[in-house]
Chain A
């Protein structure tokens, strides 16, 4: 039983709005155009419903524990948006923690998560963080697709 049984009741629309506000500025700093970290084709979009909850939990942790920390932002306008996203992800993590029993991690999700971390580790840390931030729309679209219940908020 996938994410649908462990719904994240979060206002994705506001997170998407925050990201749209910085997407151009962030992606402009990404100089490695032929490289991807979330690699949608193999990793995320191949996920089965059973693995959605675990994958969501793992990717939230990837961003909260790694990406947002590795990225150093000086522009207050961009900093505010990233802070908004980071704190929203923190809230989503807490919501998911309440579903711990329903959020089993099978090998497929563990392997997919390792691919993402390996992709990240192959790049210089600042470049990896910028690229992952620029790919947030991939992750947000994936959550939206697997989590239709909350998008109405």
Chain B
């Protein structure tokens, strides 16, 4: 094991949005040299029962950049400890460990992107494809006094979905939010989008 002469990476942190988790750190600078990094993780199980076991991350053992996509490693809703060390030739730094274990239930859930379109008299929505862990709750209504709001659960995203057959001359509005069962959380609703249908509105 090479003597630990390289400085250990600093400022480890995790950015997590919509269940995509990226570990970042400050790069170790060595003029005219490429420093590589190795990332390892421990789930709560390992830290409780097998604390000597650290698992090499799927994509970053080693990696050249000061960041690592750990999404495929964080596969349960429990705290994960993460550590990084730098390597240059035979020189290896000490491990730097994330100050607070990361739990994916802290991920930021953003309102989903959506496209609301008309196909003749059909109200159609296409939602952002956020991956298999996401369900979508779509609310839609006819814009008129006392309108009733309808709710539909859509899964997965990325595929156009028929919501309603519309009346001529009417305006319909749609908004959506995501739900991730693995962490039991919803996003905020997106802004409502409205479409108006051609033709004379029918007498009430």
Contact = CB atoms under 8 A, between A and B. Distances in A.
B192 interface: no
B96 interface: no
Contact of A87 (B58, B61, B75, B184): B75
Interface in B43-89: 43-46, 48-50, 53, 55-56, 58, 61, 73, 75-78
Interface residues of A, number: 23
Contacts of A127: none
A93 B73 CA distance: 20
Nearest to A86: B45
Given A11-B182, A68-B49, A84 B75 contact: yes
Contact of A64 (B45, B75, B133): B45
A89 B76 CA distance: 9
Contacts, number: 58
A153 B61 CA distance: 31
A87 B77 CA distance: 8
Nearest to B61: A76
Q: What is the predominant secondary structure among interface residues of chain A facing chain B?
A: helix
A91 B53 CA distance: 19
Interface in A14-60: 14, 18
Given A83-B45, A87-B44, A76 B181 contact: no
B49 A69 contact: yes
B50 A91 contact: no
Nearest to B56: A76
Nearest to A95: B77
B184 A9 contact: yes
A11 B181 contact: yes
Q: Which one of A84, A87, A153 has the highest number of Cβ atoms from chain B below 10 Å of its Cβ?
A: A87
Given A11-B182, A83-B43, A153-B182, A91 B78 contact: yes
B56 A88 contact: no
A99 interface: no
Given A9-B184, A11-B181, A64-B49, A84 B58 contact: no
16 contacts: A10-B182, A64-B45, A65-B49, A68-B50, A69-B49, A76-B55, A84-B75, A84-B76, A86-B45, A87-B44, A87-B45, A88-B76, A90-B45, A91-B76, A91-B77, A153-B182
Given A84-B43, A91-B76, 18 more contacts: A11-B181, A14-B75, A14-B182, A18-B75, A64-B45, A64-B49, A65-B49, A69-B50, A79-B55, A83-B43, A83-B55, A86-B49, A87-B43, A87-B45, A88-B75, A88-B76, A91-B77, A94-B78
